Amino acid sequence: MPRPPLRFSAFVMNTASHIVHGLWRDPEGEQLRFNELDLWVDLAKRLEAGGFDAIFFADVVGVYGDYRGGWAHHAELGLQIPSNDPLVILSALASHTQHLGLAFTAGPIQQPPYNFARQVATLDHASNGRIAWNIVTSALANGWKNFGHDDLLSHDDRYAFADEYLDVLYKLWEGSWDEDALEQDRGSGRHADPSKIHAINHVSEHWKVQGPFLSAPSPQRTPLLFQAGSSKVGRDFAARHAEAQFIVSPGAEQARVLIDDTRRLVEAHGRHRDDLKFFQGLSFVVGSTEEEALRKEAELEEKIDIDGQIAHFGGSLGVDLGAYEPDTPIDVIHTEGGQSGLAWLREATNGRTPTLEDVVRLRTRNTRVTGTPEQIADELARWSEAGVDGINVVNATIPGSYQEFIDHVLPVLRERGLAQREYTPGTLRRKLFGNDRLSERHPAARYRGAFRSQVPVG
């Protein structure tokens, strides 16, 4: 069976320097204007005009781990500080688009579930069902310290905390209101049928929520659920909860192995293997000839701030790499987690012991596709064949990287059936899965109708 067209989302963050550091200095980049709403409204309109499926906002709620003893260097580079909240700008994007999915990132430390559930339901109403939530567990220690904690919880405890949080949200989104509770009948004067609205009386370790939920069911109820966990626990969490997983495999074949394995996990949790879609993160350098593309890639490599890439890499690992020069062989660097994940690096450097600079350059280069639109199409066909459902497009500049992809690559992809020709009408979930609501196999579905036995009130 031929693979369906790939999905495309734009991977951005409400900040000046998200992943490819130093590029905010580029005269063609406008990401320095991230504080301005117009930058994002303009980008959303471009993405929709170009046929993108979604805009996907990453986020953090703290500074990255130390580099040279603190976060001063991060601030100098603009490395995700300053940054703004992604969720609160989505209604503006919704009001200027009709089809574009609106995905944001947030974690359970940020808001009590009742408020979060209501903000998301409000946005799902406002966008006619185009909201997606990328569930994160917040891995930066400073983030936890901004939210009353002494330190980061352990990795597994963070997932348990997220599980508990989701449980409350599912009750509010799926269980508190029956489907036809809202009547809005001008004639009878009955606005809603109270026998179809329920308290949830949730009590668990961290949360106690009486309900009822205040928002009536939005087009999707639960927003489309994204997740990006790559650990064993993280992938198991995704296999249970997520409808789309954001992956960053170093190649299509590695993606195939990962995806097959995760799909088995999805099935083990009683869901169908296609209940979870996979979005691979990739960036693109496009040329009208291969030579031009390679020249542009070399220029890009020149512009990348290696210091920033190292600070970001170490800051996510929680390892201060600031004491090492970029040409330090990585054998010299001792990290808590060991170097088991870096075996592919030796291969990539032809057996030579890679340096710190090699590591960070390869991290971006592995997920970069450089070439003519036709060559890029060939490469994307390989990713699609490997089981990838969509591409999360990483940018060097905003809006430049996206406009280039829209103008030069997407037309070729559409001709080859690798990208959609027009939007499917309806909610984001309908566009991806053919229905507005979570499948009955999803764990949230168990709360549908579950609170009807609550004692009727008044």
Write down the least CB distance from residue 122 to a second copy, Å. Answer: 4
The answer to the question of residue 407 lying near a second copy (CB under 8 A) is no
Phi, psi of 240 (to 5 degrees): -85, -45
- Of residues 6 through 45, those in contact with a second copy by CB under 8 A are 14, 16-17, 22, 24-25, 27, 32, 35-38, 41
Task: Using the minimum distance from each CB to a second copy, give the nearer residue, 73 or 241.
Answer: 73
Phi, psi of 49 (to 5 degrees): -60, -30
Site for a second copy in 285-344 (CB under 8 A): 305, 322
243 binds a second copy (CB under 8 A): no
Radius of gyration (C-alpha) of the chain in whole angstroms: 23
> Any known ligand binding at 105?
yes
Phi-psi domain of 253 (left: phi exceeds 0; alpha: psi -120 through 50; beta: other) = alpha
What is the closest distance, in whole angstroms, from the C-beta atom of residue 152 to a second copy in the complex? 12
The annotation status of 231 as a binding-site residue, yes or no, is yes
d(CA 428, CA 411): 22
The residue among 168 and 413 lying less far from a second copy, judged by its C-beta, is 168
Based on the shown chain and the rule CB under 8 A, indicate whether residue 396 belongs to the binding site for a second copy: no
For Cα atoms 18, 162, 63, give the angle at the middle one, nearest 5 degrees.
30
Name the DSSP letter for residue 83: B
* Cα–Cα nearest to 8, from 53, 45, 48, 69: 53
Site string for a second copy, 73-112 (x = CB under 8 A): xxxxxx--xxxxx-xxxxxx-xxx------------xxxx
Residue closer to a second copy by CB (options 196, 414) is: 196
Distance CA 283, CA 392 (A): 8
Q: 280, 258, 283, 262: which is closest to 271 by C-alpha? A: 262
Calpha distance 53→168 (Å, rounded): 29
Is 163 labelled as part of a ligand binding site?
no
Taking alpha carbons only, the member of 130, 129, 201, 194 closest to residue 172 is 201
Residue 6, both tokens: 């790939």
Q: How many chain residues bind a second copy (CB under 8 A)?
A: 91
Q: x/- site string to a second copy, residues 128 to 167, per CB under 8 A?
A: --------------x--xxxxx------------------
Give the nearer residue to a second copy in terms of CB position, either 78 or 354: 78
**118 in contact with a second copy (CB under 8 A):** yes
Among 3, 45, 122, 319, binds a second copy (CB under 8 A): 122
Known binding-site residues for FMN equal: 59, 105, 155, 159, 230-231
